[in-house]
Amino acid sequence: MQASESKELYLSAFRRYRNNGASKNPAWLRQLRESAIASFQELGFPTTHDEDWKYTSLDRITSVAFQRGNGAAKAVTADDIFALGFADSACNRLVFINGTYFPQLSSVRESPVGVRIESLAGILQRNDGLVEPYLGRYARTHGQTFVALNTAFMEDGAFVLVPKNCKLEEPIHLIHVSISNGESVASHPRNLFIVEEGGEARIVETYIGMGKGSYFANPVTELLGGPNTTIDHYRLQREGAKGSHIGTLEAQLSRNCNLTAHAITLGGALVRNDVHMVLNGEGSECLLNGLYVLDGKQHVDNSTEIEHTKPQATSLELYKGILSGSARGVFNGKILVHKDAQKTNARQTNKNLLLSADAMVNTKPQLEIYADDVKCSHGSTIGQLDRDALFYLRSRGISIDDAQSLLSYAFASEVVSRVKIDSMRARLDDYLLNKFGKNQKSEIQ
């Protein structure tokens, strides 16, 4: 199938949806969908001729006629979720399967007054004015094919509201499962997080894949950080071997908002993460903390854009990649400093470790600066394991396999050590030590 046929399939699916499922939507939502599908129609799917997609082919998505479906949902158990995800079974959670809220596996404890942790579908159905001012306001459909597709078809996802001065200590887990046992399944989860002035929250989005079939997850998350907030956001991806994931995070930071956005990618055939941060308040700070650990023929593309629109804001970005097999990594990082954003402090780093001769990385850091009093830097590296360090470990009796896995783990640990949820960090540590141990063995045989 050609990309143009694929586009036509989505357009005709929308025509059916417009007259069927979406017809009961409130007018504002129908309007949102119409303008989104118009954007999609105009844009079509990007190709490798587009600068932003130069190294990432979408054939895996555009050559398949994905269906929406959740027939396999019943096959998912809590054990599956905790085996694949990095949360523990006591966690506060909403579970979604192929994009639809699945209350049987969800467990939300009572929260302080005013906190809302619920499925978006329920809220849209009630149409009580809660999400209307926010939904679609930050994730722009203009110029963004996948945000447009998501907005046209969105039905469900997570809604989190942390009210003024509320400090939520317990993390909120949103676990999105894609499962396909043959049919090719698409989902367009839509998440909206609002942390009001003075609030604090930890929100974890986990994406996991199950089943033997191929699927396409196209989640979009909008996050609004109010003044003086502290937000810790995680996106953990452990998609299946035939899973494609195109994810978008749109975050808006108000005055003195402090946001840490973790992005950890461990699985998936094709993964693209678009992160767009707007530091739209004086004194706001964001830390982007990313790790991708790839093997086989995995392809992972991280595209981040950090926009400084107000003075005195700080953005620090560190993304690290470890690639083996014939995996391919792409990093596109852009820092955009507007004219009024004086005293901006921005630093961006991408470091890659290649463990095999066939692994490859394309990395492109960019700065675009229109203010004259700023401190900005960027850099990227691609390298192999340090020979001196390897020899040092081996000279103490540690085998070459173990030395390599220990050094790979050490490379990742700078990112993992910033994970603030202890149980999750411990599970990630275990996963990585185990993974690198296995990797080395398979490469030597």
Is position 133 an interface residue for another protein (rule: CB under 8 A)? no
**Which residue has 């989104």 as its token pair?**
36
**Which residue has 């203009």 as its token pair?**
142
Q: Which stretch binds another protein (CB under 8 A): 71-79, 126-134, 229-237, 384-392?
A: 384-392
- Report the nearest approach of another protein to the CB of residue 408 (Å): 10
Is position 407 an interface residue for another protein (rule: CB under 8 A)? yes
Paired strand residues for 321: 292, 352
Binding to another protein (CB under 8 A) within 101-120 occurs at none
Binding to another protein (CB under 8 A) within 329-348 occurs at none
Is position 392 an interface residue for another protein (rule: CB under 8 A)? yes
The CA distance from 111 to 425, in Å, is 24
Helical (H) or strand (E) element with 410: helix 400-416
C-alpha dihedral (432, 325, 386, 438), degrees to nearest 10: 40
- Phi first, then psi, for residue 274 (nearest 5°) are -105, 120
Q: Which of 26, 389, 430, 434 is the binder for another protein (CB under 8 A)?
A: 389
The CA distance from 65 to 436, in Å, is 36
- Report the nearest approach of another protein to the CB of residue 351 (Å): 12
Is position 49 an interface residue for another protein (rule: CB under 8 A)? no
CA-CA distances (angstroms) from residue 177 to 101, 272, 323? 10, 17, 25
Q: Which stretch binds another protein (CB under 8 A): 47-55, 133-141, 356-364, 400-408?
A: 400-408
The one-letter amino acid at 37 = I
- Report the nearest approach of another protein to the CB of residue 425 (Å): 13
Q: Which of 30, 394, 418, 425 is the binder for another protein (CB under 8 A)?
A: 394
**Which residue has 């956005």 as its token pair?**
261
Is position 391 an interface residue for another protein (rule: CB under 8 A)? yes
- The DSSP annotation for 10-55 comes to HHHHHHHHHHTGGGGS-HHHHHHHHHHHHHHHHH----TTSGGGTT
Q: Which residues contact 388 (CB under 8 A, 6 or more apart)?
A: none
Q: Which stretch binds another protein (CB under 8 A): 157-165, 357-365, 368-376, 397-405?
A: 397-405
Is position 397 an interface residue for another protein (rule: CB under 8 A)? yes
Cβ-based nearer residue to another protein, 358 or 414: 414
Q: Which stretch binds another protein (CB under 8 A): 29-37, 357-365, 368-376, 398-406?
A: 398-406
Q: Which stretch binds another protein (CB under 8 A): 140-148, 230-238, 282-290, 392-400?
A: 392-400
Q: Which of 396, 422, 444, 445 is the binder for another protein (CB under 8 A)?
A: 396
Cβ-based nearer residue to another protein, 262 or 308: 262
- Report the nearest approach of another protein to the CB of residue 418 (Å): 12
Is position 385 an interface residue for another protein (rule: CB under 8 A)? no
- Report the nearest approach of another protein to the CB of residue 289 (Å): 15
The CA distance from 441 to 433, in Å, is 13
Instruction: Note whether 231 and 203 are within 8 A (CB).
Output: yes
- Report the nearest approach of another protein to the CB of residue 325 (Å): 23
Helical (H) or strand (E) element with 292: strand 285-294
- The DSSP annotation for 301-317 comes to EEEEEEEE-STT-EEEE
CA-CA distances (angstroms) from residue 347 to 21, 71, 409? 46, 46, 24
Q: Which stretch binds another protein (CB under 8 A): 112-120, 159-167, 283-291, 403-411?
A: 403-411
Cβ-based nearer residue to another protein, 73 or 318: 318
Paired strand residues for 375: 345
**44 DSSP assignment:** -
Is position 47 an interface residue for another protein (rule: CB under 8 A)? no
413-442 mask for another protein (x: CB under 8 A)? xx--x-------------------------
Q: Which of 90, 375, 400, 438 is the binder for another protein (CB under 8 A)?
A: 400
The closest of 148, 106, 156, 110 to 131, measured between CA atoms, is: 156
The closest of 52, 64, 61 to 301, measured between CA atoms, is: 52
The closest of 168, 140, 86 to 431, measured between CA atoms, is: 86
- Report the nearest approach of another protein to the CB of residue 30 (Å): 52
The CA distance from 290 to 414, in Å, is 10
- Report the nearest approach of another protein to the CB of residue 101 (Å): 39
The CA distance from 32 to 35, in Å, is 5
- Report the nearest approach of another protein to the CB of residue 349 (Å): 14
Cβ-based nearer residue to another protein, 340 or 386: 386
Cβ-based nearer residue to another protein, 346 or 415: 415
Q: Which of 128, 387, 422, 444 is the binder for another protein (CB under 8 A)?
A: 387
Is position 411 an interface residue for another protein (rule: CB under 8 A)? yes
Paired strand residues for 270: 244, 299
Instruction: Note whether 101 and 113 are within 8 A (CB).
Output: no
Residues that bind another protein (CB under 8 A): 386-389, 391-400, 402-403, 406-407, 409-414, 417
